A and B are shown apart, each in its own frame.
Chain A
Amino acid sequence: MSLRIEHITVRYGQTTAVDDVSLDIADGEVVALLGPSGCGKSTLLRTVAGLEKADDGEVRWDGDDLTGTPVHERGFGLVFQDGQLFPHRDVAGNVAFGLRMAKVDKEVRLKRIDELLELVGLDGYQHRKVTQLSGGEQQRVALARALAPQPRLLLLDEPLSALDRALREQLAVDLARLLREAGATALVVTHDHDEAFTLADRVAIMRKGKIRQVGPPAEVWREPADVETAKFLGCNKFVPGSFVGLANDRVGLRASALRVDPAGTLEGVVLERVHRRDHVRLLVEIDGDEYEAVGPVTEIGDRVRLVVEQDGLAVLRDEPHGGQ
């Protein structure tokens, strides 16, 4: 019960959208394909679904090559960014669709619909029109619809990107729980690292058609494969490891890497200050160089002490040539 992507290449005319990508997903595992827009991650997902033809390479399920298997016989569920619910069917009709295609008995069908709507927190929504649902509710129905026929693999294409921020964060947590409860094997495409890290057991970083790094979220977050990946994961300043007391050549700093704290060992002067939702962002000058930091309210011009937050650091493996 596992998916194996082997040396997949997809070209559109002159451009290569996916370039010789290989990736395995184990049974019950959730893998996130994380990368900036246009990196080829959606194309890869659509190739797995059978909606795109690969120019080279294979998608295998339990070792069987799926190249000749059409979309509707793959048994892979797909959730789009914007739901794509059938507007002419109600909520129950949407969830039932895959079950009807699989010729499931009506009684079993109805029970399964109830179960799934309960699972996604839309109990009693059976006969609502899908056009009257909010964006978040639509995505929940889309998820229930995809899960209903018990797909071998669930494919999620930016499932939360169309929602507003607060809802997105809430739904990401819900979705992570749902995927665990359903025991789903899933491939999630996203450009949002918070989303990827919330949902996935493993994260695959993709850039310019290639997978640059695969690993558990904490590892990828802490040790990005290269500078570009570190930048994509929020690092905007690179310093020698000695600056934060590490032995590495280079360490990437995120905005939260330095925090104002009287017990800190670094010392600087506050240059700018911006209030954010739950903290204050500062621009601090340390030894003639500017750094971002977070902290309690301070005045511009104040002299402050700063501590290093480990979560804000990305440790880059020492590269012999260290080119940027």
Chain B
Amino acid sequence: MAHPRSRLNRRSRLNWTLAALLPLGFLAVFFAWPVLAIITLGLREGGISEALTSADTWELVAFTLGQAAAATVVAVITGLPVAFVLARCKIRGLGVLRAAVMVPFVLPTVVVGLAFRAFWPDGGVLPIVLANAFFNVAVVARTVGGLWAHTDRRAEDAARALGASRPRAFLSVVLPALAPAIGSAAAVVFLFCATSFGVVLILGGARYRTLETEIYLRTVELFDLSGAAALSLIQFAAVIAVLLLGALARRRRETALALKGREELARRPTGGEWAVVAAAGAVVLALLTPVVGLIIRSLSTRDGWSLAGYRALATTGERGTLSVSGVEAALNSLRTATDATAIALVVGVFSAFVLIGLKRSGSRVSEALDTALMLPLGVSAVTVGFGYLVTMDALPGDFRTSPLLVPLAQALVVTPLVVRMVLPVLRAVDERLRQAAATLGAGPARVWLEVDLPLVGRSLVAAAGFGFVVALGEFGATSFLARPDAPTLPVVIARLMSRPGALNSQMAYAACALLMVVTIACVLLIERLRVPSSGEF
């Protein structure tokens, strides 16, 4: 057993495991510690069992999971035709379609909440489900489409040649091949929907609450920490269960595929396929409706069309609702998001390299780290935010007042996205390409620099742009942590909406439109840069 090969592997496994301690350390300090601190704080006060046995709690759990499941179903059903078009069709305007689908996913939750309120002024269950689904159609379309684009078309053709009708071939050949991607996408969507905060807060009002908004209410307004901690624990358990299912689906997906390039598989739709294209078109139109509605709302007042809301952005709102002007808040947003993106890129890219290294040296830590990195996506941003407030003063120089506090919290959400975008590209780099560079005289560091980095470069820029817009729209943790004199745009929007005054709401809609324009510009940029059909989002 002790021949040189295994010794060599063992040593590199040890090196990579040590390297893995860095991202894990980051997660430990800026994620696990604050979350655990909040939970123990709640536990110490007692009353956990009370919360666990209360019928209200379980109603809350049922509603949270129910609305998430419903939204997931809607997102999968509407996402599939879009995935088909993205993957298999050669038609004009595909680039526009790709970008259009992506826009909702990165829109700030507050913006989406407001957009849906423009159609359902009183909120309710239906708009909550639809708004959550609205965000996540992109996840389904991109994840499933990414796999679909690279699965060999000939299995389908063979089934058709053997006498299967088109729907039959789809059900018996295509769908099973896509199942892992659908499963993985559904898990992620479910996670997002179960922990969605801004949308539910704005559309649910006092009537419809999920675990996430209830945690927020109990912590901020009722100071019921034990109740909040109990709810956080329940949420945590659900999230881990879903993440594990997702990891299982991913593993199946990575082992089972012989991938091909999209170019050789895409063709012009024929016959019944046009119906699917039409369905995809309808989905995209539906996705764009709230966006357009919002812009119209930002321009219309009781007295007709007006730019009053936009002009008001230079002020602090009606009767000084805000502590800073809208423009200052926008600048704050840009600064914070830039810092958050920088942090997330460093941690995310490093983690991706470590994950690849761990996997190559055959270490089991790889999957644990992969799952750990995804955790922040599923844990209540509110819990994280509040956790920061009770722990960060223990760090040198009272971290609570540090301008890096908000960026760090946002980076937690952005990092998993960076990892998911960079990892597949790194994995796809043929090992022999690195070996070719080595035989030409490049040492290990030089190989990273000359081969890995350039190949991953485009997806890195895309990940940066993507992370930037997500940070820009982050609301849950930011609403908690942003200092009163330095709010971000989403925080300002929420505040404006909660105060009376026609100008205030006009200004909120204008700020939304502004945020949306920045977001769309970023998405278009990402679309130009991204490596064709790579990454999972």
Contact = CB atoms under 8 A, between A and B. Distances in A.
Interface of A: 11-12, 49, 51, 53, 55, 70-78, 80, 84, 86-88, 97-98, 101-102, 145-146, 149, 151, 155
9 contacts: A71-B438, A75-B441, A77-B439, A84-B432, A84-B436, A86-B437, A97-B440, A145-B440, A149-B441
Interface in B250-273: none
B176 interface: no
Contact of B4 (A55, A86, A97, A145): A55
Contacts of B443: 70, 72
Contacts of B436: 78, 80, 84, 86, 145
A77 B440 contact: yes
A198 B56 CA distance: 83
A88 B433 CA distance: 12
Nearest to B451: A86
A309 to B, nearest CB: 42
Interface string B438-467: 111111001000110011010000000000
A94 B139 CA distance: 37
Contacts of B435: 49, 51, 71, 78, 84
B439 A76 contact: yes
Interface string B200-218: 0000000000000000000
Contacts of A86: 433, 436-437, 450-451
Nearest to A78: B439
Contacts of B439: 49, 71-72, 74, 76-78, 146, 151, 155
B485 interface: no
> Which has the most chain B C-beta neighbours within 10 Å: A55, A86, A155?
A86
Interface of B: 3-5, 8, 430, 432-433, 435-443, 446, 450-451, 454-455, 457
Contacts of A155: 439
Nearest to A101: B441
B433 A84 contact: yes
A102 B439 CA distance: 12
A204 to B, nearest CB: 21
A101 B442 contact: yes
A49 B435 CA distance: 9
Contacts of A87: 455
B433 A72 contact: no
Contacts of A98: 440-441
A71 B442 CA distance: 9
A73 B432 CA distance: 17
Given A12-B5, A55-B5, A149-B440, 13 more contacts: A49-B435, A55-B4, A77-B440, A80-B432, A84-B430, A84-B433, A84-B436, A86-B451, A88-B455, A101-B441, A101-B446, A145-B440, A146-B439
B435 to A, nearest CB: 5
A266 B395 CA distance: 98
Given A55-B4, A72-B442, A84-B432, A97 B437 contact: yes
Nearest to B436: A84
Contacts of B438: 51, 70-72
Contacts of B446: 72, 101
Nearest 7 A-B pairs (CB), nearest first?
A101-B441, A98-B440, A78-B439, A71-B438, A88-B454, A84-B436, A72-B438
A55 B3 contact: yes
Given A78-B435, A86-B433, A86-B437, A53 B442 contact: no
A93 B482 CA distance: 49
Contacts of B454: 88
Contacts of A77: 439-440
Nearest to A79: B436
A134 to B, nearest CB: 16
A16 B432 CA distance: 22
B530 to A, nearest CB: 15
A275 B158 CA distance: 32
Contacts of B430: 84
> Which has the most chain B C-beta neighbours within 10 Å: A71, A74, A84, A149?
A71
A301 to B, nearest CB: 40
Contacts of A80: 432, 436
> Which has the most chain A C-beta neighbours within 10 Å: B435, B436, B451, B455?
B436
Contacts of B455: 87-88
A52 B454 CA distance: 26
A97 B3 contact: no
B52 to A, nearest CB: 50
Contacts of B451: 86
Nearest to A88: B454
Contact of A53 (B8, B432, B433, B437): B8
A84 B451 CA distance: 11
A70 B440 CA distance: 12
Contacts of B3: 11, 55
A40 to B, nearest CB: 15
Contacts of A78: 435-436, 439
A78 B439 CA distance: 6
A55 B438 CA distance: 22
Contacts of B457: 88
Contacts of B450: 86, 97
A98 B441 CA distance: 6
> Which has the most chain B C-beta neighbours within 10 Å: A74, A78, A155?
A78
A94 B451 CA distance: 11
Contacts of A102: 441
A67 to B, nearest CB: 9
A149 B435 CA distance: 16
Nearest to B8: A53
